[in-house]
Amino acid sequence: MPTLFNKHYSLRAIIFFLGEGLLIFLSLLVVDFFMLGSGLFFLDLLLNSTRALLVTLIFQLCLYFFDQYDLSHELSLSDTFTRMTQAFGIGCILLGAVYYTAPFMIISNKIFWTGYLVICLSVSIWRGTYYLILRKRLFVQNVLLVGTENLASDIARIIEGVQDSTYRVRGFVGDGKPSYNPHNAPVQPTIEDFEHLLANHEIERIIVALDDKRGATPINTLLDCKMRGITVEQSTSFYERVTGKMLVERIAPSWIIYSDGFSLSRWKYHVKSLLDLAFSVTLLTLTLPVILITAILVKFESPGPVFYLQERVGEGNRIFKIIKFRSMRQDAEKDGAVWARENDDRVTRVGHIIRTLRIDELPQLWNVIKGEMSLVGPRPERQIFVDQLAKKIPYYAIRHKLRPGITGWAQVCYPYGASELDALKKLEYDLYYMKNVSIAFDLIIIFKTVKTVLFKKGSR
């Protein structure tokens, strides 16, 4: 799982997250120490620490759900403080619920609210300092891009187009002019022209991003750079590691054949199936009241069946019938199969609500119990669309080597879309998931799915 954690949890991001958690934790303990006195504080040190840890976990969880750990786009300090206050407000409500069920965890009002003010102040200073680091582009790795055409510009956009990038483009190698070069990094014909930067160790990584590699890759020079301790990397590998998706249109079949991953051992396969079954039975039991109420509402609003059964392509290209709550009129496809569209007038009022809340997907838990689907995996598509997409999109058929899922990496990373271009973009995430599939990865996706559902992202 190294590529997964390198992408989403760089060392700098991990330090930021853990540092903020430590700051929240210590803020409460310091207030405890001064208000209780050293005697009482150390007498109940374990209990005080447990209480502070609970506040830390809940506050950081709320910060995550309010996108306060997504720093790819620049936010003003005032906007950050507003969202932080909202997150902490929800955190206080959750803490109230915990305190109701576990009174021994209650922190006295005086200590809690004093600690709250200290936390707000210390976190604001911490985040202000981190934003300054991002703006000054400190602690980044300098990169030299070999190439000046479309691929090199795409890689440059990935590096320079986000606020929290841990890389910086120091130059391009080639004869053309990059279409994306916001900081006017120098462009030179050969790698040797950057010798002054290489000799002074100002270039730490070289990324080969050539649109046409035939006869154009400076093998000997790259080998020399490699021997000098400079990391040399292919653009496809860099793209995968940094973005969490595959550059589908740029990779060769040999790259997939010889790369690590794209395999799920028999032991992992059975563990995944067992967890799917356990989670599905549990979720189906817990959501039974919601399912019954939804079934009644769907039946009363419009004529037709409560459930909508549709043939989809599953693992090994086997056809199965996916089960969903009907969210459209019964005659929605009287003119044939079409992609769903934004503000689709075929969707009923109840259908709009259950789609937004993802309730329409709950019956698919039965597909999981039957072994036709998994909780996490590439979303299954209809045969008519599969036939169209397989002809136009490279490697599209690979996604059917794995059991399809109710949710997936593409669903939590890419906005809802229903077109051939969207299918290509989703495939980039699906192939990344298939290359890095693991139980830990599934748990991360499920956690992100909860956030997506709560904040109603991507529904249509």
* Domain identity same for 39 and 169: no
On whether residue 257 sits in a domain, the answer given is no
Report pLDDT digits (tens) over 414-456: 877 777 888 899 999 999 999 999 999 999 999 999 888 877 6
> Does the structure show a pLDDT above 80 at 459?
no
Who has greater pLDDT, 5 or 75? 75
* Domain identity same for 52 and 10: yes
Radius of gyration of the chain (CA): 26
Over range 285-292, report the average pLDDT: 94
What gap in Å lies between CA 370 and CA 364, rounded to an integer? Answer: 10
> Does the structure show a pLDDT above 90 at 290?
yes
* Domain identity same for 183 and 221: yes
> Does the structure show a pLDDT above 60 at 302?
yes
* Domain identity same for 159 and 117: no
Report pLDDT digits (tens) over 36-70: 988 888 888 999 999 999 999 999 999 998 889 88
> Does the structure show a pLDDT above 80 at 306?
yes
Three-class SS state of 310: strand
Who has greater pLDDT, 451 or 329? 451
> Does the structure show a pLDDT above 80 at 383?
yes
Over range 316-327, report the average pLDDT: 93
Sign of CA dihedral 202, 207, 212, 214: positive
- Enter the tokens of residue 152: 């090199």
Domain boundary among 75, 105, 136: 136
Alpha helices, DSSP H only, in 337-382? 349-356, 364-369
Q: What is the pLDDT at residue 268?
A: 86
Number of separate domains in the chain: 3
Domain boundary among 97, 121, 136: 136
Q: What is the pLDDT at residue 159?
A: 94
Report pLDDT digits (tens) over 334-352: 555 555 555 566 778 888 8
On whether residue 252 sits in a domain, the answer given is no
Rounded alpha-carbon distances, angstroms, from residue 357 to 294, 450, 458: 12, 11, 10
* Domain identity same for 240 and 304: no
Report pLDDT digits (tens) over 136-193: 888 899 999 999 999 999 999 999 988 888 999 999 999 989 999 999 999 999 999 9
On whether residue 251 sits in a domain, the answer given is no
Q: What is the pLDDT at residue 3?
A: 46
Q: What is the pLDDT at residue 2?
A: 42
* Domain identity same for 214 and 335: no
- Cβ atoms of 42 and 61 within 8 Å: the answer is no
> Does the structure show a pLDDT above 80 at 205?
yes
- Enter the tokens of residue 384: 């008519």
Percent of all residues in the chain with a pLDDT value above 90, rounded to a whole number: 60
On whether residue 31 sits in a domain, the answer given is yes
Who has greater pLDDT, 82 or 206? 206
Residue 197: name the closest of 209, 210, 206 by CA: 206
Q: What is the pLDDT at residue 152?
A: 95
Q: Which domain holds residue 13?
A: 2-136
* Domain identity same for 446 and 364: yes
* Domain identity same for 307 and 206: no
Q: What is the pLDDT at residue 40?
A: 86
Report pLDDT digits (tens) over 88-98: 999 999 999 99
Question: Residue 218's domain is classified under what CATH number?
Answer: 3.40.50.720
Domain boundary among 214, 244, 274: 244
Amino acid residing at 396 = Y
**pTM of model > 0.95:** no
Report pLDDT digits (tens) over 15-43: 999 999 999 999 999 999 999 988 888 88
What gap in Å lies between CA 401 and CA 256, rounded to an integer? Answer: 14
- The DSSP letter of residue 190 is S
> Does the structure show a pLDDT above 50 at 1?
no
Roughly how many angstroms between the first and final C-alpha of the chain, as a whole number?
32
- The band of 275, judged by pLDDT with boundaries at 50, 70 and 90, is very high
* Domain identity same for 311 and 431: yes
HSE-up (13 A, CA, CB side) for residue 306:
12
Three-class SS state of 362: coil
* Domain identity same for 175 and 312: no
